[in-house]
């Protein structure tokens, strides 16, 4: 089980695949300036909504 899977399981994340994609996006953009709005654009491209972003960011915190 990966670390991300463990975090997802511990935090009761219902959309583990989305959680992992958002974390991957954040890791790939380390050292670059990005914001919640850039993640929201990423999610829009993934056909997800802003409420999901809020939930993912809450679980990362």
Kindly report, residue by residue over 1-42, the tens digit of the pLDDT.
Answer: 466 556 555 555 566 777 777 788 888 888 887 777 777 777
Q: Are 19 and 13 in contact (CB under 8 A)?
A: yes
- The domain total for the chain is 1
Q: What is the pTM of this model?
A: 0.47
Domain that holds residue 45: 3-60
Q: Does 58 have pLDDT greater than 70?
A: yes
- CA-to-CA distance for 18 and 52, rounded, in angstroms? 9
DSSP secondary structure, 1-61, as one string? --HHHHHHHHTT-S-HHHHHHHHHHHHHTTTS---HHHHHHHHHHTT--HHHHHHHHHHH-
């Amino acid at each position: 089980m990966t670390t991300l899977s463990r975090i997802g399981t511990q935090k009761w994340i219902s959309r583990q695949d989305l959680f992992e994609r958002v974390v991957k996006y954040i890791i790939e953009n380390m050292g670059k300036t990005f914001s919640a709005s850039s993640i929201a654009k990423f999610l829009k491209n993934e056909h997800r909504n802003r409420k999901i972003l809020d939930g993912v960011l809450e679980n990362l915190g």
